[in-house]
Amino acid sequence: MKYSELVGLYEYLEQTPSRLSKIEKIAAFFREADAKTLDKVVLLMQGKVFPPYSEKEMGVADKLMIKVIASSAGFSQSEVENEFRKTGDLGLAVEKMLSVKKQKNLVNRELDVTKVFENLQKLASVEGKGSQDSKISLIKELISSAQPKEAKYIVRTVLEQMRVGVAEGVLRDSIASAFFEFKDQEEKKKTISAIEWAWFLRPDYAEIAKIAKEHGLRGLEKVTVEVGKPYQVLLAEKAQDLKEALNTFERPILEFKYDGARVCIHKKGGKLWFYTRRLEDVTKQFPDLVKLVASGIKAHECIIEGEMLGTDAKSGSPLPFQQLSQRIKRKYDIEQMARTIPIQVNLFDIVYLDGRDLFSETLEKRKKLLESVINVIPGKFQLAEKLVTKNIKEAEKFYERALKARQEGVMVKNLDASYQPGRRVGYWLKVKPIMETLDLVITGAEWGTGKRTSWFGTFILSCRRDEGFAECGMMGTGIKEKKSVDEDVTFDELTEQLKLYIISKKGNEVKVKPKIVVEIAYEEIQKSPTYSSGFALRFPRLLRVRTDKSPEEADDVGRIERLYSQQRGRKSAF
Ligand code: AMP
C-alpha cells in the first residue's frame, strides 16, 4: 500500500468532523489493506509504530528533527527554525518548505506504508555511539523521497505529535464496520462489545483488527489474557460516602484504598512481568519484587493484582505515592533505589490461575483462590486489609483506620461481582475524603489535539506567590465541548478569552497574562519539582470561572502548603 493513500486518509480525517463519516472512510481503508499491512496501518493511524503498551520509543526530539529536515531538504538549520517558529509545528514547516523548494526531488521513489513503518520502528532500536547519525539517515531516507504532505505526517509521527486524533471508540467502530455485517442494531452492539472486550484483554487495536479480519467474531471471543502481556484493569467508581457505598451491595467487602500504584504481577514458571494500570512494563524497576514473588507466590502460573507502596527503609512504614513514583520512572541505579525505598505489596485480586482466566468468577471465589496461592511475608507481600460488613459503625471505624494509616480511604467491593476488564463498572466503589477547592489563575495553555485542535485543550494553573504567580498544575477536565446548562464552561469560551491575553508562544504552548481565575477541585496535592510552586494538583478539574474574583484574590502557595499538610490522616468527611 502506498503511503500517499494513508496520507489521503489523514487529510480526510483532519478535515472531517463527523464521526460517522470518519468511521466509514477508515472502515473502507481497513478492508482494502492486505493482511500484512493492516496492523501497520492501524498503528500509524494512531500516530504510533509500536503497540500502545510498548516501552519502545523513537526518541527523536525537535532539535534533531530540525537537523534532519535541513539536511534532507537542502535548507539551513536556521531557515527550518524560522519556519518552525512561525507555525509551531515541524510537520507544517517541512510541508511548506518542501513545497516551495525550487530544486525538485531527485529521488523519485514512491513511499510505501511498510517502508515508512519499518524505518520508524528501527529508530527505536538504534542505540549508543553513532545512534544520532543512524537516526538521521533513517528519517532522511524517507523525507528525501517524500512529497510535501507525506513529509508532514512522517515528521509528526516521529515526533509523536500526530494531530489527526483517531479516538479509540472510532477505531473500534471502524473495525466493526470493516469486517462485519449486521442484521440490526442489536447485532451491531454485540459485535462492538466483542471487539471492545477483546481489546480490554489485548489493548492493541492493530492485533484486534487482524484477528477480526482473519478469524471473525469467533476469533475475538476466544481472545483472553496472556500471561506476560498487559490487560486493562477493572476500575472503581466514586461513592458519595461510606453509607451509600455500603447500601449499594448486598454483600460488601471493604479494603484499605492504599496510596500507591496498582501492580499486575504476571508469573509463568520462573518468568515474571510487572505492569502498571497504564500498561507500563515496570519489571526491570523492581528487582526486589522479583525476590518477594519467588517466595510469596505458590502458583506455577498466575496473574495477581495489588497496590504497591514505597516504605521507609528504617521503620518500614508506608510512604506517600510520590516516593514510589521515583522508582517507577527510574532507569539507572535501580538496586540502590530498591534499598532506599523498599516496597510493600498489598494484594487484592487474582484474574488468572494455571491455565484458566477467572474473570467470570465472583470476587468471593477469586479472593479464596488468591489466599490459597500466597505465602504472606508480613509488611512486604501481604493481603490487603479487609473487612466484610454491612454495619456502618464498623465500616466507619475501618475507614478511620485506613486514614490513620495514611492511606487514601477505602474501597467497597461487591463480593458477588465478576471482574470486568477495562471498565469503570460499579463493582468497586471508592470512598475518600473530599479536598477543599482552590481558586487559581490560568497562566498558560496548550493547543488541543484531534477535534480540539482549534481550541486550547490544557490549561496551566498557578497560585499567587509573593508579587507574582507560581505554577501548580495542568488541567484539561471539567471543560465542555458544548454547553448543556448555562453554567458550563466550554473550550471555545476559554480559548477566546485567553487569546486576548497571550504573551508568548512556543511550539504548542502559550503563556498568558494572569487574568482568569478558576475554581478547581482535585484529588490530592503532591510535592512536585516540575512546577515552580513546588506543588502539583492531582486530577485537577474545573468547577467554574470566578468572574467575581480578581487574580490578586486567588489562593496563594501558603494555602496550598497548609492543605497539603492537612490532607494526610484527616478525620473522615461524614
Ligand atoms: P482511583 O485511581 O481513585 O480511580 O482508584 C482506583 C485505584 O486505587 C486502583 O487502580 C488501585 O491502584 C488503587 N487501589 C488502592 N487500594 C486498592 C484496593 N484495595 N483495591 C483496588 N484498588 C486499589
Q: Which residue ranges make up each domain of the chain?
A: 235-431, 438-569
pLDDT surpassing 90 at residue 435: no
CA of 409 to the centre of ligand 1 (A): 10
Closest CA to 110 of 3, 225, 10, 7: 3
Write the single-letter amino acid at 33. A
User: Atom 5, ligand 1: which residue's CA is nearest?
Assistant: 236
The distance of Cα 387 from the centroid of its chain, to the nearest Å, equals 32
Q: Which fold has domain 235-431?
A: D-amino Acid Aminotransferase; Chain A, domain 1 (3.30.470)
Closest CA to 10 of 116, 165, 210: 165
Query: Candidates 231, 257, 386: which one to mutate for ligand 1, based on the most atoms within 8 Å of Cβ?
Result: 257
Q: Which three cell numbers stand for residue 224?
A: 483472553
Do 339 and 311 form a contact (C-beta atoms < 8 A)?
A: no
- pTM of the predicted model as reported, rounded to 2 decimal places: 0.77
Q: Which three cell numbers stand for residue 574?
A: 461524614
CA of 429 to the centre of ligand 1 (A): 9
pLDDT surpassing 70 at residue 503: yes
Query: Candidates 349, 420, 424, 430: which one to mutate for ligand 1, based on the most atoms within 8 Å of Cβ?
Result: 430
User: Atom 18, ligand 1: which residue's CA is nearest?
Assistant: 257
Query: What is the distance in angstroms between the CA of the first residue and the CA of the last residue of the chain?
Result: 62
User: Atom 23, ligand 1: which residue's CA is nearest?
Assistant: 257
- What is the DSSP code string of 165-179? ---HHHHHHHHHHHH
Give pLDDT, residue 428: 97
CA of 236 to the centre of ligand 1 (A): 7
CA of 419 to the centre of ligand 1 (A): 14
In degrees rounded to 5, what are phi and psi of residue 290? -55, -45
* Residues acting as catalytic residues: 257
- Per residue in 388-410, pLDDT (tens digit) is 999 999 999 999 999 888 888 99
pLDDT surpassing 50 at residue 228: yes
- Per residue in 65-105, pLDDT (tens digit) is 999 999 888 889 999 999 999 888 999 999 999 988 745 55
The CATH superfamily holding the domain 438-569 is Nucleic acid-binding proteins (2.40.50.140)
Kindly give the number of the ligand 1 atom that is closest to the alpha carbon of 261.
Answer: 12
pLDDT confidence tier of residue 155, bands split at 50, 70 and 90: very high
Average pLDDT, the chain: 92
- Per residue in 291-337, pLDDT (tens digit) is 999 999 999 999 999 999 999 999 988 987 878 888 988 888 999 99
- What is the DSSP code string of 176-242? HHHH---SSHHHHHHHHHHHHHHHHHS--HHHHHHHHHHHHHHHHHH----TTS--PPP--EE-SSH
CA of 399 to the centre of ligand 1 (A): 15
Kindly give the number of the ligand 1 atom that is closest to the alpha carbon of 424.
Answer: 4
Which residues, judged by CB distance below 6 Å to any ligand atom, belong to the binding site of ligand 1?
235-236, 255-258, 262, 277, 307, 348, 384, 411, 430
How far is the CA of 547 from the CAs of 64, 199, 550, in angstroms? 44, 44, 8
Cell 485480586 found at = 349
Residue 421 three-state SS? coil
